[in-house]
Amino acid sequence: VTLYTGGMTWLNDEELQTWQALHSVLLLLPTALDRQLQRDSKISYLEYYVLAALSERPEGTARLSYLAVLTNAELSRISHLIARLEKRGLVQRRPDPTDGRYTNAVLTEEGLALVRAAAPGHVEAVRRLVFDDLDEPTRRTLHQAMNGIASAICEHGDGHPPARSPKNA
């Protein structure tokens, strides 16, 4: 496994190895978490986070746009996702009485029961896959590093655009 730049190397050896390790985790970890949740609770990683986020909100309620920001997902993705969850009876859609432009997702009894049932297994997976083998100082540095990368992406990354309407194209 080398750098994949077609021969040219703009990362030095140490950077390259670090990047390969990070790259592996990027591909492996979401898949592993998805599988655990899908197998044990029939929901995806992202669905779990949406349901769990709702479970911690007053009335089990949040706007779709809030959920989109929270999960770093596009609004359209959340809208489709909520539609699926609604079809399964786990959430309800309700226009915000205050301002009709917003749509609230509201957790149902079934939805709450599902998150509660799913949480222990998920947290255990996170602990097992991420934390169990990391010592204190490594964790602290990991935290820093991740924050650094996250903010680099926010600053000059090609994140999804802030939901524009083009109107003329």
Partner DNA sequence: TAAGATTGATATATCAATCTTC
Partner DNA sequence: GAAGATTGATATATCAATCTTA
> Binding DNA by CB under 7 A: which of 20, 44, 55, 61?
44
End-to-end CA distance of the chain: 42
Q: Please report whether residue 22 would count as binding DNA according to CB under 7 A.
A: no
Closest residue by Cα to residue 115 from 56, 30, 29, 33: 56
Q: Does 35 bind DNA (CB under 7 A)?
A: yes
Q: Is 134 in the site for a second copy (CB under 8 A)?
A: yes
Smallest separation, CB 96 to a second copy (Å): 21
Work out how close the CB of 13 gets to DNA at its nearest, in angstroms, rounded to a whole number: 28
For Cα atoms 39, 91, 123, give the angle at the middle one, nearest 5 degrees: 40
The answer to whether 158 contacts a second copy (rule: CB under 8 A) is: yes
Residue 166 contact among a second copy, DNA, none, beta carbon within 5 to 8 Å by kind: DNA
Question: Does 132 interact with DNA (rule: CB under 7 A)?
Answer: no
> Considering the complex, what minimum distance in angstroms separates the CB of residue 101 from a second copy?
24
C-alpha to C-alpha distance for 119 and 19, rounded to whole angstroms: 31
The answer to whether 153 contacts a second copy (rule: CB under 8 A) is yes
C-alpha span between 53 and 62 (Å, rounded): 8
Dihedral sign computed on CA atoms, order 132, 138, 139, 143? negative
